[in-house]
Structure 1
Amino acid sequence: MKNTTMESNRLNFGNFFAEDSISLTLEQVNLAADMSQTLATRPRQQWQVYLNILAKLGTIEWLRMRSPEFIQNHSIQLSNPSVNQVQVGNFRLNLIVTDSSMNSEVCVPRVFLEDSINPSQFYLLVEVIEDLPVVEDSEEQVNVSVLGYLTQAQLNQQSPIVLDDELALFSTDWFELKPDKLLLYLRCFEPETVSSKQQLSQAVQSVVNVANWLTNQLGEIAQELSWTLLPPLAYSSAFRELRSPIELFSDAVTELKNQAQLVIPFEARTAYKELICGEIPMRLYATIWRIDTELNSQEWALLLLLAAQPSSNLPVGTQLTVRDELQVLEAPVLTDSTQDYIYAQVIGAYDEKLHVSISFPDGNGIILPPFTFVG
């Protein structure tokens, strides 16, 4: 997690997560109000339970919008502990609710920290804002935003302040401001991996410097990760039943050149990596080249092509996602069983990290170490 100051966190919350704000319906707001009166008796308790239920409803809608495969007919359970929790597959998410992203600290139920029977893997910082109606007789608007997340492994490195028998205090500076990264963890890791800081950091810290490829070198990390560098690309329209990796890629690029006006310069270099997820053997091709412009903007292009290995097929619903540190750049999905591959092309600045993941309709997936261009 980046070491940022408290002030920078406050400034960045709104910028990072404006697109992740969920507006709840009047029906959802009324449901939260009714349930809060059922689950609590004192007014202060009712208010907190009300916020917790709104946070859970908003988080479920956020998950449904961003990754609908995670949420299948999810319902609110009528018990006090459950309104602070969302179950996603084998993961338990505890919701830490705040009514202002400007708060530097947030209260957390101590039961979250002491539940060894049902441990959580993630703590989500969720903001609930009630906007009073501007026009008389208009409806009150409730917006819910997922501000950040904290893994159990990261929490183990912190020291929450115990306030009393029921509450502890978290710093909002502990939370990471990357919801897409959270979705990758939910899709591609197992709970025991997220609980181990060592395994988690090893999974996300390796970086492949593709600038080496232009000088006919893979680089140490790419070699360790079993990438294979191909010779310069030569377009081909020939078809043979048994084709080499370079021939398979050349045929795909020839097709893209004709159908999608794809242009790859001669000096571009390509490497590929064999992958397998479950019983699906795949091959991921990565082609890179410098982008020369009159403005000398120091940019590079990354073309990714994901194909099944010969005698295999990618399942419909397979998704190839490429993102930078702030947002998803491309996320093509295989929609036709007759398709041989899916591809994505993006542009990055020098030193910028581009993150790549592959997900499948059964919820499994692969996260690759990020690509960067340094050199």
Structure 2
Amino acid sequence: MTSYSVNSTDLRLVQPECIWLESEQFEQAVQMSNQVISEACQWQTYLNGLALLSFTQWLEEKLANILIYENCCSLRQPKYANVIEAVCNLIVGEFKLCLITSESLIDEVGTVPIAAIDLPDFAAHFYVVIEVQEELETAIIRGFIRYDELVNYRQVCNLHPEVDWNYSLPLSLFDSEPNHLLFYLRFLDSAAIELPVTYPNYLPRLSVNQPDLETLETLLERLQYPEQTLWQTLTWEQGLTILQSPELLDLLYQWQLTPQRTTSLSIRITEVFTILTQKAINTQQWLEGKLDEFAQGLGLFIPQTLTGNLSVFRSIDKFENVINELRYQGMDIPTEPGRSYQDIDLGEIALRLCAVTWAIDSPIPPPKWSLLVILGTQLGTPLPDGFKLQVSNLRSIIHEPVSGFDDPFLFARVEGRSDEKFVVTIIPPDSSAQTLSPYAFEPS
């Protein structure tokens, strides 16, 4: 690779740093572009690949003793490359860089995704604009800007993003001298440029009842088309939730990538979406014999609130017998756990779900809790063959027992940290699945 200078009548662009592209870089960029779905995204990913490969090689020549790490940048992860047009999380020493790539900057405007500025997972200390001239086999470093300078400009100019979730910035805003960037990377303390920090519960809630997103099914239906993007389907506020959830992004990427979309994938997307966006039932209150208004509104009830309904009492006794039997078989269930019941009509089957919870003594923080769910019928009759009780967290499916011949109950037990949520999905053999509100354990 060779660097050279290009003359320009634009005084701001006198002698920009130009880099020859090499044949193997074109081949690698093609491989990167093949991982995304739509043609438009493929082309941008191809340009991003050329920019990343040439820029990192240039940095290696200029900064021989500084570690450059690009294996975990957004371009190397299809779920991110498919939705973010920039190259985020290029690590150079202690700094995070974001590459803004274009095939032509004749309009003197650089396009920076909102996500690359506002989201802590993608924000960078420096934003570098690179013009990739594929036919000329060159990449030109056109300028860079610090994060704090970019944010200050946005505030002073009251800059608003475009509908496609990007900011349009004048190229004159960027420092066109690459040696200044090299100086910063060598000598500046990264703490001098303060980036946004990830806080607990930073994710905003996304309601599927908002006018432009009536149901999750509508979102999945729209994303079946390869050319459909998130910004064409969601508002930016809605997109925040998805962009900050690697698990959900990965599932949506699989959904768009797979021609034969399975019911199991749809259910899994629904579960993760539910954990991220829906209010959770606080099971810790059950230990005190309490049930808040939210849980009551979902139809949950606890034994202490029942009066005079002998049939319900008899049905509940059968669940209590299951708990005692599991305890007898060796499951470590306290003598007085918290519990609730919920009646669920699924098609023609009247189901009842018993959820049992307790805190787990753990000498090592954080605190942990356990959730035991038992599925049966309201009348105490056996479950139909093929019923599945699926219990999941944000990362994966944990248990999915399936009913067999004359099984009266299904049960599953999970454990997690006090900040971990679980979701239960009831999957009948011949009708639609139902994902319930998530369960949490939140000490008062």
Question: What TM-score comes out, normalization by structure 1 length?
Answer: 0.49
Q: Which has the larger radius of gyration?
A: 2
Higher RCO (Cα < 8 Å, 6 or more apart): 1
Question: What TM-score comes out, normalization by structure 2 length?
Answer: 0.42
